[in-house]
Amino acid sequence: MQLCDGNDRDSSLQFLKHVLLSIRKRYTDSMPELPEVEVTRRGVAPHLEGRTVSAVTLRHQGLRWPFPPELSQRLCGYPIRSTGRRGKYLLIHFDHGTLIIHLGMSGHLRVLPISIPPNKHDHFDLVLDTHLLRLHDPRRFGAVLWHGEEDGHIDQHLLLRGLGVEPLDAAFSADLLYRQTRNRSAAIKQVLLAGDIVVGVGNIYASESLFKARINPKTPARRISLARYEKLEIAIRETLEAAIRQGGSTLRDFVAVDGQSGYFQQHYFVYDRSGEPCRICSAKVRQIKQGQRSTFYCVNCQK
Ligand SMILES: [Zn+2]
């Protein structure tokens, strides 16, 4: 790109601003939430479970935190028993401990033949017999951590012990939301994002679920009745399940050598639709900030 003077310079600056905004928007949009992590787990699980680790390749000191010391010695020769997920943490279980992977803001996991050379930002490979699990993470906000059996149950890991219930488990209920919010004067959107009552309802799905339940995201959590929490519980389950179902069509991308690993595009009711007509009443969707995060809602439909 050439930077010129006069009008050309203005238009160049405009162009630069546009590029920067679109990059920021892409990062925001592509940040994996619970459905993306669950779809990733389902995509890679059949290629991991029952296979034995033959090597570990680290191409960086670490991501958000340093890689665990001697990870190769800890894993080589051990078979993977199963995979799981807690919130946005992907769990790879061995007999002697669990490998915890977090995708951060920009991480993607792929299963590839071992002959495929790494690209830039491919920081971690878990090598199995004929293929490998490769973590690509340009922003390095992700994590690869080890929790040994000697450190107790995986739920006791520092990052997992304070997490609320899983929104798709039977333990999640309207009653739980109601009981645990009687003293919470914070806005319901903030309470959902806090993750201590229910985990994995991130920024996108909190906005979408509150829209479906017709609850204004600014409403203090303790003011919401049990009947309205019943609507919210159903909305959260339906929203997350629909996103996982939609992501199911991308499962093959996790093993395609040339597959685009971008997260699935979705049809949102309010999220990222500021100023556009509400899909129910046609009023303009409003965007506000709550705790540094954008919230989208319809003043007409959500009371
Ligand atoms: Zn509306």
Q: pLDDT for 105-132, tens place per residue? A: 888 899 999 999 999 999 999 999 889 9
- In this prediction, residues 224-251 reach a mean pLDDT of 91
* Residue 247, pLDDT above cutoff 70: yes
Active site residue: 41, 88, 134, 228, which one? Answer: 88
Task: Give 146's strand partners.
Answer: 99
Read out DSSP for 72-122?
HHHHTTPBP-EEEEETTEEEEEETTEEEEEE-TTT-EEEEEETTSPP-TTE
Give catalytic status of residue 81 as yes or no.
no
Which two three-digit tokens encode residue 141? Answer: 């906000």
pLDDT in tens, 127-186: 998 899 999 998 899 999 999 999 999 999 999 999 999 999 999 999 999 999 999 999
- In this prediction, residues 21-47 reach a mean pLDDT of 73
Residue 190 Cα to ligand 1 middle (Å): 21
How far CA 290 is from CA of 199, 236, 303, in Å, comes to 18, 19, 17
Contacts of 271 (CB under 8 A, 6+ apart): 203, 204, 207, 208, 296
DSSP reduced 3-state for 269:
coil
DSSP reduced 3-state for 35:
helix
* Residue 262, pLDDT above cutoff 70: no
Give catalytic status of residue 32 as yes or no.
yes
* Residue 16, pLDDT above cutoff 60: no
- The predicted structure's pLDDT at residue 251: 67
Residues with CB under 5 A from ligand 1 (ion): 278, 280-281, 283, 298, 300-301
Active site residue: 64, 214, 279, 293, which one? Answer: 293
| Residue found under tokens 């309802």 | 201
The highest-confidence range among 55-69, 101-115, 181-195, by mean pLDDT, is 181-195
**pTM (2 d.p.):** 0.84
For residue 266, name the pLDDT band (cuts at 50, 70, 90).
Answer: confident
How far CA 2 is from CA of 15, 17, 18, 19, 21, in Å, comes to 11, 15, 16, 15, 19
* Residue 225, pLDDT above cutoff 60: yes
Active site residue: 32, 35, 167, 217, which one? Answer: 32
Residue 167 Cα to ligand 1 middle (Å): 26
Select the more confidently predicted residue: 103 or 30: 103
Select the more confidently predicted residue: 15 or 40: 40
For residue 3, name the pLDDT band (cuts at 50, 70, 90).
Answer: very low
For residue 26, name the pLDDT band (cuts at 50, 70, 90).
Answer: very low
Cα–Cα distance measured from residue 103 to residue 36, given in angstroms and rounded to the nearest whole number: 10
* Residue 256, pLDDT above cutoff 80: no
How far CA 154 is from CA of 23, 72, 87, 124, in Å, comes to 36, 20, 13, 22
* Residue 69, pLDDT above cutoff 50: yes
- In this prediction, residues 266-275 reach a mean pLDDT of 92
pLDDT in tens, 76-98: 999 999 999 999 999 999 999 99
- The predicted structure's pLDDT at residue 246: 83
Residue type present at position 205: Y
Select the more confidently predicted residue: 22 or 255: 255
Contact by Cβ (8 Å): 198, 235: no
Considering the chain, what is the average pLDDT of its residues?
88
Residue 302 Cα to ligand 1 middle (Å): 7
Give catalytic status of residue 279 as yes or no.
no
Select the more confidently predicted residue: 250 or 125: 125
* Residue 4, pLDDT above cutoff 70: no
- The predicted structure's pLDDT at residue 2: 33
Give catalytic status of residue 293 as yes or no.
yes
